[in-house]
């Protein structure tokens, strides 16, 4: 429409009022929400089509189900893994312990339990739980049996490392289980080896058996908590990954929601004691730093802290330490004890031993080295005394008749006659004691008993004959006596040559008639 006044103004071009501020914000918000929805939808479509859609769920389930059976192979591998683990722990050998981890027989039913929970297959859940229970119980009792009959029942560093689980162990199990479940879903089974080493299911179970055999319930409960932590974390993480990858479940929406809450509750229940354990470890680490700082603060910079022992299990905390210092302080122990009680917020009982040294730092270091040497000498003396007691018992003589040279690490004893003993008996006793003291030279001088016969087969010294010659050499060296050999010329020559090569004085007495070669002491009539 044209303005009748001829101004050329089009009424249709009348400017429209701009939307108010709330209306503008609503429009912008609608656009932003629409963009966000499109992004979410595109990501969801990519996940369902390009990720979840490429997973052969039936094949994954079938593979996982096969590994959950209570088969002969599963039980055998569990037993072997448990045996290797407990021996590695007793020997404190990380390499042997890792060997037990590589077998990972328990990983199958644990992962299977997680996938079975995801699709809620009751029969599969029951099968996995039964296999897991039998494997767990068998491993515990097998390890306990090995420890019960083992001469080594001390808590080694490898055992102690698995008795105080903390929140970091839960994190290790979680990340390892994520990698393992992903590998199983995507068909990359080789990753499971690394997962088995990271989660270490069998070593904690072996430590449970150790605690049961030694009646050490602190070790038992600590290792059991670590095993349960790894077990539940792996199973529930496998459940979560299976649900994330769209594995179908037979549960209703309400049941699924309840299952989600139950899983979260289990993780929280596990995290609480592990967090408390982590706090305890953090407190002990910080306490050691605080103790050293307080002690060093009360003495000058030329002082050195020697041995420091802290017993956190006692009430109050018991601290024993040695300080090498140029200047002794009578009030140091009481002052440090009060300061530590304040800083640690717990009662502390301090035993402070002050050793006065020179006025320089080098003097303190020299005193520390001297103290270390003194401890080494005391340990060597104690070991020598223990060796003397064993030799005295074996040889049947009082300790005064032993010759112990601690400088050269040599022990010599002349044995008394033992009922029914032969030269082989004395040599075996010597070998057994020498095996326990590889740094020492052990010599048991036997009684002058008959020498063994040297046997031949097809004109050559047989295996028993070689052993007899070795025994003759040993006995001749211990008694420092020559040997006389009687028998066929060719046999006498062969034995005489062996003895001569070993530095033994041997006289020959060849005889033409057939018979068994005899070895006798040369001065025997």
Q: Both 47 and 152 in a single domain?
A: no
* Pair (19, 108) in one structural domain: no
Phi, psi of 435 (to 5 degrees): -65, -30
Q: Do 103 and 237 belong to one domain?
A: yes
Q: Establish if 173 belongs to a structural domain.
A: yes
Q: What pLDDT, on the 0 to 100 scale, is given for residue 220? A: 92
pLDDT 10s digits, 191-240:
555 555 555 688 889 999 999 999 988 889 888 988 888 888 888 888 88
Q: What is the CATH number of the domain that holds 439?
A: 3.30.300
In terms of domains, do 135 and 95 share one? yes
Co-location of 166 and 235 in the same domain: yes
Alpha carbons 222 and 284: distance in angstroms, whole number: 17
Domain presence at residue 268: no
Both 191 and 127 in a single domain?
yes
Q: How many domains does the chain have?
A: 5
The model's pTM is 0.54
**Of 412, 445, 478, which closes a domain?**
445
From CA 205, how far away is CA 146, in angstroms rounded?
13
Whichever domain contains 308, its CATH number is 3.30.70.1350
Q: Do 213 and 290 share a domain, yes or no?
A: no
Tokens of 168: 């970091």
Tokens of 469: 């010659």
Strands 403-405 and 410-414: antiparallel
Any domain includes 499: yes
On whether residue 297 sits in a domain, the answer given is yes
Domain boundary among 445, 473, 506: 445
In a 13 Å sphere around the CA of 313, the CA atoms on its Cβ side amount to 1
Residue 257 maps to a domain: no
C-alpha 360: how far from its chain's center?
Answer: 42
Q: Is 263 a member of any domain?
A: no
CB-count exposure of residue 455 (10 Å: 0-12, 13-18, 19+): middle
- Residues 71 and 202 grouped into a single domain: yes
Same domain membership, residue 174 and residue 310: no
79 φ, ψ (degrees, to nearest 5):
-65, -45
DSSP string, 86-97: HHHHHHT-HHHH
Residues 143 and 234 both lie in one domain: yes
> pLDDT-based confidence at 4, cuts 50/70/90?
very low
Q: Give me 424's structure tokens.
A: 């082989």
Per-residue pLDDT reduced to its tens digit, 89-148: 888 777 788 777 777 688 888 888 888 888 888 888 888 889 999 999 999 999 999 999
- Mean predicted confidence (pLDDT) in 44-68: 75
pLDDT single digits (tens) 250-303:
655 666 677 677 777 776 777 777 777 777 777 877 888 888 888 888 887 777
Which pair of structure tokens corresponds to residue 159? 């055992």
In a shared domain, residues 169 and 314: no
- What is the domain extent for residue 405? 370-445
Is 90 exceeded by the pLDDT of residue 376? Answer: no
Domain boundary residue, one of 192, 226, 250: 250
Whether 481 is covered by a domain: the verdict is: yes
The answer to whether position 261 is within a domain reads: no
Whether residue 154 is found in the same domain as residue 13: no
């Amino acid at each position: 429409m044209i303005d009748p006044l001829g101004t050329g103004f089009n009424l249709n071009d009348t400017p429209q009022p701009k939307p108010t501020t709330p209306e503008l914000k609503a429009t912008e918000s609608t656009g932003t929400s629409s963009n966000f929805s499109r992004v979410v939808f595109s990501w969801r479509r990519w996940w369902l089509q390009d990720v979840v859609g490429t997973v052969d769920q039936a094949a994954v389930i079938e593979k996982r189900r096969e590994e959950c059976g209570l088969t002969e192979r599963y039980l055998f591998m569990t037993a072997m893994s448990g045996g290797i683990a407990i021996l590695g722990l007793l020997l404190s050998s990380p390499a042997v312990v890792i060997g037990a981890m590589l077998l990972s027989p328990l990983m199958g039913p644990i992962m299977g339990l997680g996938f079975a929970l995801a699709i809620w297959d009751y029969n599969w859940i029951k099968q996995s739980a039964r296999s897991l229970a039998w494997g767990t119980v068998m491993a515990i009792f097998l390890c306990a049996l090995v420890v019960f009959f083992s001469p080594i029942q001390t808590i080694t560093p490898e055992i102690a490392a698995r008795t105080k689980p903390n929140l970091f162990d839960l994190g290790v199990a979680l990340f390892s289980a994520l990698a393992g479940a992903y590998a199983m879903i995507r068909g990359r089974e080789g990753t499971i080896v690394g997962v088995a080493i990271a989660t270490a299911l069998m070593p904690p179970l072996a430590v449970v058996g150790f605690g049961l055999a030694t009646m050490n319930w602190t070790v038992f409960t600590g290792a059991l908590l670590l095993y349960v932590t790894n077990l539940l974390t792996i199973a529930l993480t496998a459940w979560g990954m299976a649900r994330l990858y769209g594995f179908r479940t037979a549960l209703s929406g309400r049941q699924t929601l309840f299952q989600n809450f139950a899983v979260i509750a289990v993780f929280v229940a596990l995290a609480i004691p592990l967090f408390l354990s982590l706090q305890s470890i953090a407190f002990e680490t910080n306490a050691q730093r605080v103790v050293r700082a307080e002690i060093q603060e009360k003495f000058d910079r030329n002082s050195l802290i020697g041995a420091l022992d802290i017993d956190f299990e006692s009430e109050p905390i018991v601290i024993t330490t040695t300080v090498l210092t140029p200047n002794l302080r009578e009030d140091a122990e009481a002052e440090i004890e009060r300061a530590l009680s304040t800083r640690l917020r717990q009662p502390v009982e301090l035993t402070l031993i002050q050793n006065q040294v020179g006025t320089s730092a080098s003097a303190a270091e020299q005193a520390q080295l001297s103290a270390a040497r003194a401890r080494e000498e005391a340990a060597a003396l104690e070991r020598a005394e223990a060796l003397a007691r064993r030799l005295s018992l074996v040889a049947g003589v009082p300790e005064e008749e032993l010759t112990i040279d601690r400088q050269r690490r040599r022990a010599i004893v002349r044995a008394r006659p033992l009922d029914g003993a032969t030269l082989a008996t004395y040599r075996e006793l010597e070998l057994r004691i020498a095996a326990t003291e590889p740094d020492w030279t052990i010599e048991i001088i036997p009684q002058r008993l008959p020498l063994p016969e040297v046997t031949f087969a097809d004109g050559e010294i047989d295996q028993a004959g070689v052993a007899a010659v070795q025994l003759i050499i040993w006995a001749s060296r211990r008694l420092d006596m020559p040997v006389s050999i009687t028998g066929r010329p060719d046999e006498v020559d062969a034995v005489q040559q062996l003895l001569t090569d070993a530095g033994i004085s041997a006289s020959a007495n060849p005889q033409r008639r057939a018979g068994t070669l005899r070895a006798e002491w040369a001065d025997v009539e």
